[in-house]
Amino acid sequence: MIPIEAALESLKLQDIPNITQTAKEYNCDRTTLSRRFRNVTVSREVAIENSKLMTEAQSKTLIKYINRLTDRAFPPTPATVRNLA
């Protein structure tokens, strides 16, 4: 577990969260820890996942549908794909 995630878990277990002390214990930035604890910001991985227009499953389903259309000699146009998405 990376230090900031361990620090967040530690803060959740504390009755009165002490962000400064926890940041020192886990050797992570106090400001970042505070923002993440208050849900002001999220990790990069979560931010990237949230910014995607389609999930991985939706993307795979769309690709399968496009391939089926192509197999039937009906290649989709960009407008058709936009409507399907």
38 plus 69 within the same structural domain = no
pLDDT of 75 higher than 90: no
pLDDT of 8 higher than 80: yes
Phi/psi zone of residue 15: left (φ > 0), alpha (ψ -120 to 50 degrees), beta? alpha
38 plus 59 within the same structural domain = no
**How much is the pLDDT for 35?**
92
8 plus 45 within the same structural domain = yes
13 plus 41 within the same structural domain = yes
- What is the per-residue burial (b if ≥16 Cβ within 10 Å, else e) of 56-74? eeeeeeeeeeeeeeeeeee
| % of the chain with per-residue pLDDT over 70 | 100
Q: How many domains does the chain have?
A: 2
73 plus 57 within the same structural domain = yes
Per-residue confidence at 28, pLDDT binned at 50, 70, 90?
Answer: very high
Residue 14 is part of which domain span? Answer: 3-49
pTM of the model: 0.56
13 plus 31 within the same structural domain = yes
Per-residue confidence at 23, pLDDT binned at 50, 70, 90?
Answer: very high
